Amino acid sequence: CPHPPFYLFLPIFWGCHQSEEKVQMRLPFAFTLLLAAFLLLAAIVHPTSAALRRIGRRADGDIEEYEKWLRREVKKRRGTPPSSLQLSYFEGMGLGVRAVEDVQKGEELVRMPLSLVFCRETIQAMPTPFGRYIARPDNQGVSDTQKMALALLYEDYRQDGSLWEPYLHLLPSQLDSTVFFSEEELDELDGLVIAGESRSEKKRMEEQVEYVKKRMLQWEMKDERFAMNAMTIAEFANELNVEDYTLATYLIHSRAWTMKRDKYLLPFSDFLNHDKADFEETSESFLLYHSVEDGFAVMKAEKAYAKGMQVFESYGSNPNHIYLRYHGFLPADNDATCAQFVLSPQRAMRKAKKRDVRMVMDRLFSEAQMEYTVSACVRRSDFEEEPSGRRRVHSQKMMTFFRIMSLSESGAREVKRGRINPRKPGTATQEAAAWSKMAEYIEERLNGVTKRNSGDEALLEKGMLTGRKELAVKYRVAEVREMEDMLAYAKEKAKLN
């Protein structure tokens, strides 16, 4: 939240003594109370953002207005609106989608014209100063997420009305992704990778806004041809602020489809809440139910639903840190969760006492493409079984890192002779050394989790925590559990080898 508005402090200053000038400014007590009550009321209704005009401005009748708008605009563009579905509120989940007729698995739910979808092509074709600006060749390096976040805000800020106004009213004005956590709330996650990532993301949002505003203002001064009736680029840049930009960015992160690195925000499917799919989730399986074809974004039902049921969409088979960072919630039962680690090759090399060993480690890290920090998210079963996809890549990364980290002087000589390849299992002694280093590292990470508390699970079971505090503690409990499980396994493997 922003700092309190300055007028909160007026009653304090108004009643003070100005001793140097020997002047007293006292108001009658009853009037002072009345003024304080008025100013307090003004503070309560003071908006969290100085600029937002449409996003989150929900009112009675907005859902009905949105559904009329959606049917009208989709049909006008020869698409197919979602006739078997409607928006509804669900306890504990907020706004979602309900089936008003039976829905079959694989049934087409909506065929949305791309001209109604927030995506690169639509944004660059917008007949506004912003559309002309973002379509410039020197903006090709701007990510789709940034373009879409800025486009959302341009449509929100503009004074002359937006095509998407009924949709924008229904978007949330507050999210629980960790980038929105206060410092006190982030303290609950201290020692875990997600806390550092979230603090870095806050700074990155500030830097992006500063950079984008500077570029837009420079361009506006050079080119006045697009000063149409709509909001100019300079006006947009002057209204843009970090709070709104971060919200818009995370609306894209949490709601847009990602297909072959392109993003698509559909003003309907993004209202579907998450539920785990009943099939193995891969990029290929996603394309069975989501596609972009002939100028339309098409979505099909991932499951069958009876009339009256809430209709869901799977957000993917993701670990907890992805759900909390980008979506602002934690699934009740997530069998894809894992312990998140960030490994530092530079720190590993500093621990090596001999220069020859450090030089060999440096070369090996470079060959393994681990010159900088290495992120991995693993769980015990990734090493016990033969995992595939992401799990296989991450477990191999971890083992390669700790095989290099555990190199002795004799091991470094063996590497020079071509007898050791850290990307492949070594002798029993070498593997034991790698597992031992991994155990040391995990134990150090666990000791750094400052808020770790044996009573956390009891607090959660009793329902004594709410909001972001509950999310933070729930995440910490699950993460620590995975780390402790990995620690026990690493110690066990070190002994066996």
Residue 34 has a pLDDT of: 52
Cα distance between residue 253 and residue 256, in whole Å: 6
Q: Which string of DSSP letters, residue by residue, matches 229-252?
A: SSPPHHHHHHH--HHHHHHHHHHH
First to last CA, the chain: 53
Cα distance between residue 483 and residue 389, in whole Å: 21
Query: Which residue numbers in the chain have pLDDT < 50?
Result: 1-27, 31-32, 35-36, 38-49, 224, 227
Residue 24 has a pLDDT of: 39
Q: Which two tokens stand for residue 59?
A: 């009112």
Return the sign of the alpha-carbon dihedral for residues 116, 122, 125, 131. positive
Q: Report the DSSP beta bridge partners of residue 292.
A: 297
Cα distance between residue 423 and residue 369, in whole Å: 12
Residue 144 has a pLDDT of: 87
Contact (Cβ atoms closer than 8 angstroms) between residue 155 and residue 164? yes
Q: How many C-beta atoms surround the C-beta of residue 317 within 10 A?
A: 17
Residue 269 has a pLDDT of: 93
Cα distance between residue 446 and residue 441, in whole Å: 9
pTM for the predicted model, two decimal places: 0.85
Cα distance between residue 200 and residue 196, in whole Å: 6
Residue 480 has a pLDDT of: 95
Contact (Cβ atoms closer than 8 angstroms) between residue 324 and residue 318? no
**Given the DSSP bridges, would you call strands 296-300 and 85-90 parallel, antiparallel or unpaired?**
unpaired
341 three-state secondary structure: strand
Cα distance between residue 252 and residue 172, in whole Å: 12
Q: 11: closest CA among 39, 43, 30?
A: 39
Contact (Cβ atoms closer than 8 angstroms) between residue 110 and residue 298? yes
